[in-house]
């Protein structure tokens, strides 16, 4: 693979999204469990929006479990 895929839609990821952002009250550091690769469109659409946080956590957890193969 010549690029890192967006964890939501598989397009080229250009942003790193903090699931628990310190600026929004989170305390987590930059760890693989707290950061995910997103394309700009998905970052704008889903990032830092409470109604999508659970979905992002599920998607990221699945990627971590499967080694980013799926």
> DSSP code of 53?
H
- How many CB atoms sit inside 10 A of residue 56's CB? 20
- Structural domain count, the chain: 1
Average of per-residue pLDDT across 5-32 = 85
Examine residue 3 and state whether it is found in any structural domain, yes or no: no
Examine residue 35 and state whether it is found in any structural domain, yes or no: yes
Examine residue 1 and state whether it is found in any structural domain, yes or no: no
Identify the domain containing residue 20 by its residue range.
Answer: 15-66
| Tokens of residue 35, six digits | 């950061």
Tens-digit pLDDT profile for residues 27-69: 667 789 999 999 999 999 999 899 999 999 999 999 999 887 6
Q: What is the pTM of this model?
A: 0.84
Examine residue 34 and state whether it is found in any structural domain, yes or no: yes
- How many CB atoms sit inside 10 A of residue 7's CB? 20
Taking a C-beta distance cutoff of 8 angstroms, is the pair 50, 25 a contact? no
Taking a C-beta distance cutoff of 8 angstroms, is the pair 41, 10 a contact? no
Examine residue 62 and state whether it is found in any structural domain, yes or no: yes
Examine residue 42 and state whether it is found in any structural domain, yes or no: yes
Does the pLDDT at position 20 exceed 70? yes
């Amino acid at each position: 693979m010549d690029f890192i895929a967006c964890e939501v839609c598989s397009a080229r990821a250009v942003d790193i999204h903090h699931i628990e952002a310190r600026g929004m009250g989170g305390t987590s550091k930059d760890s693989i469990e707290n950061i995910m690769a997103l394309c700009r469109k998905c970052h704008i659409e889903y990032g830092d929006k409470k109604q999508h946080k659970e979905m992002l956590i599920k998607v990221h957890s699945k990627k971590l479990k499967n080694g980013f193969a799926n």
